[in-house]
Chain A
Amino acid sequence: MTRWLTIAICALFSLGAAACGEEEKKGGGGSGGGDLKGTIAIDGSSTVQPFAQAALELFQEENPDVRVTVGGAGTGDGFEKFCRGELDIADASRAIEDEETDACKKAGVAPAELQVANDGIAVVSNKGLPVKCMKTEQLKELFAPKSKVKSYSELGSGLPSKPVSLFSPGEESGTFDFFTETVLETDKEQRQEKVQTSPDDNVLVTGVSGESNALGYFGFSFYEQNKDKLGLVEVDGGSGCVAPSTATIQDGSYKPLSRPLFMYPSAKSIKKPQVKAFLDFVVKNQDKISTAAKIVPMTSEQATKSQQALTTAEQG
């Protein structure tokens, strides 16, 4: 009977060992191409996460032996870990703040800023709802957590006197975070009454296009794929009505619903060949990666700028 303990432990061990043994064989068969090795740890913004995941997937097609982990803890948490030296790259949906830079400096981590993509939200309406343009304040009034707006005309003249019917992505979405933060200036809160949320963008498109007085928002790339079914609402962020387009999102003139997305490698990590190769790959293939991750790519100027920033960081 004394053997049972040993046998139990051995059984558990062999289970693990068998699994690993099998894995190694499979891994060996699939390898080919790049001979880069090592690890890259990425964490941060959940908006950049799909981009980082798509990037690593395409990167691993050429470099199967580089081991990349991607997390989506959020921009702030990402920087916290990054400044402790736990990450090679921090994903961010905003520029690093002074406080964070200081925290990094104290720990001897030097962040380099690279823009990798752009993010934009489209405000859309049913084709039968005559809403051409809305001010940021009107959007805020409409979607605010305690909003009592029952008809669009309550928001100001020029808007139709139709009962409101709203659609938005759910709380788990980065688009929701971005919208509530910049337009509503709340911490992930918006009105619940008369708003239908869905994590599935397709449901939102069907809802807005099918319900006669519907208005809603979601990621710009998704609007583009369903252009013909939806009416587009221009947004006035203080300097006139601007329609979202790849161009206005890229140059930031579509305010306030556009923003650049970043990756922050540390100076130390950039010296690692696999991190350097990965970042080079990201900047060179940003168009392809953005398309795969369904977000707005950089302009060629932005890409050149990122390339320069990367070169400088590599040398410094």
Chain B
Amino acid sequence: MSAVPEAGLSRKVVERASSGQRTKDLMFRLALLFSVSVGFVVLAALVLDVMIDGASRVSLDFITSFPSRISPESTGVKSALIGTIYLMVLCAVFIVPVGVATAVYLEEYANRDSRLSRLIEVNIQNLAAVPSVVYGILGLAFIVRGPLGLGPVLLAGALTLGLLVLPVVIIVSREAIRAVPSSIREGSLALGATQWQTIWKQVLPGALPGIATGVILALSRAIGETAPLLVIGAATFARFNPEGITDRFTAMPLAIFEFISDADTEFRAAGAAAIIVLLALLVVMNAGAIFLRNRYERKW
């Protein structure tokens, strides 16, 4: 009974407001639409500009030839593309176990009210917002030089990028783990499973689509980073493919940087083409993330 007068009241308010407020409402809508279009138009302009400059250069030859100084028209990004794929794989090998383990600890084991875990939580959130060049300096000081002293090699690059995106992986994994209802855990424990069995057989499988999506998005961010790789001293020009994790390397963003900072227009076109290749790789990865999420996400 009480719902009826309420409904009547609200209708009255709407009616009274409608005459004067309608234009405001329209303005608000237009403002929102404008905000949406800003992002879209900028992206479209960027893609279009790059396409105009570089589309004609993208070909199989472009991704299967080494960069060349002597013949700009036949320059390519083979070593950079292979370097980026290596970085991605190594980075995944590093961030998946560490990131997921951290998330499992924080969600399943740590006492959430303790000072330590709150401190860790705040730290992780802050780390996710640290500029990438800072991670580059960290990588240079601790991984390339200093304690680890690996030199500017693939492993050092992958670890640096891994540190950069680790907070993202942890945050996303925690959310995915939290989304698994506690009834599942309780059911498992009630049937006599240990906590380890519960996590490994129930919680992680349930959280996996979310974790995988997060990891792929984190990797997409990692392979687009230029600043940390430049800071750790990765090469911008290499006419060989890395063959092991202790090889020096170059990567797509560095190849782009090298091409577009050249005075020759041919190299600039090659730079635009390299951007298209990197964009294509990113689109494929993000599509993969969306596919994983839609296909395997569970509704509890």
Contact = CB atoms under 8 A, between A and B. Distances in A.
Contacts of A84: 145
Interface residues of B, number: 45
Interface string B252-276: 0000001001111100100000000
Nearest to B69: A53
Nearest to B260: A172
A58 B239 CA distance: 11
Interface in A1-37: 1-2, 4-5, 8-9, 12-13, 15-16, 19-20, 23-24, 27
A268 interface: no
Interface stretch (B22-30, B31-39, B48-56, B80-88): B80-88
Contacts, number: 113
Interface string B62-102: 00000111100000000000100110110011001000000
A71 interface: yes
A101 interface: no
Contact of A172 (B70, B205, B248, B263): B263
How big is chain A's contact interface, by range?
35 or more
Nearest to A14: B89
Contacts of B89: 12-13, 15-16
Contacts of B93: 9, 12-13
B241 A172 contact: no
Interface in A48-69: 49-50, 53-54, 56-58, 60, 67-69
A126 B86 CA distance: 52
Contacts of B144: 86
B250 A173 contact: no
The residue in B96, B200, B240 that gathers the most chain A C-beta atoms within 10 A of its C-beta is: B240
Contact of A20 (B145, B212, B237, B243): B243
Contacts of B208: 1, 4-5
Nearest to A51: B69
27 contacts: A2-B204, A4-B212, A5-B96, A8-B212, A9-B92, A9-B93, A12-B89, A15-B89, A16-B85, A16-B86, A41-B248, A49-B237, A50-B69, A53-B67, A53-B237, A54-B69, A57-B68, A57-B70, A58-B70, A60-B239, A71-B236, A72-B237, A72-B258, A86-B144, A86-B151, A170-B263, A201-B263
B238 interface: yes
Q: List the 8 closest A-B pairs by CB distance, nearest first.
A: A1-B205, A69-B235, A53-B69, A16-B89, A67-B240, A70-B237, A172-B261, A54-B69
Contacts of B263: 169-170, 172-173, 199-201
Given A4-B296, A5-B211, A86-B151, 5 more contacts: A13-B93, A16-B89, A43-B233, A49-B237, A69-B250
Interface of B: 67-70, 82, 85-86, 88-89, 92-93, 96, 144-145, 151-152, 200-201, 204-206, 208, 211-212, 215, 233, 235-241, 243, 247-248, 250, 258, 261-265, 268, 296
A67 B68 CA distance: 14
Contacts of B250: 69
A8 B214 CA distance: 13
Contacts of B86: 16, 20
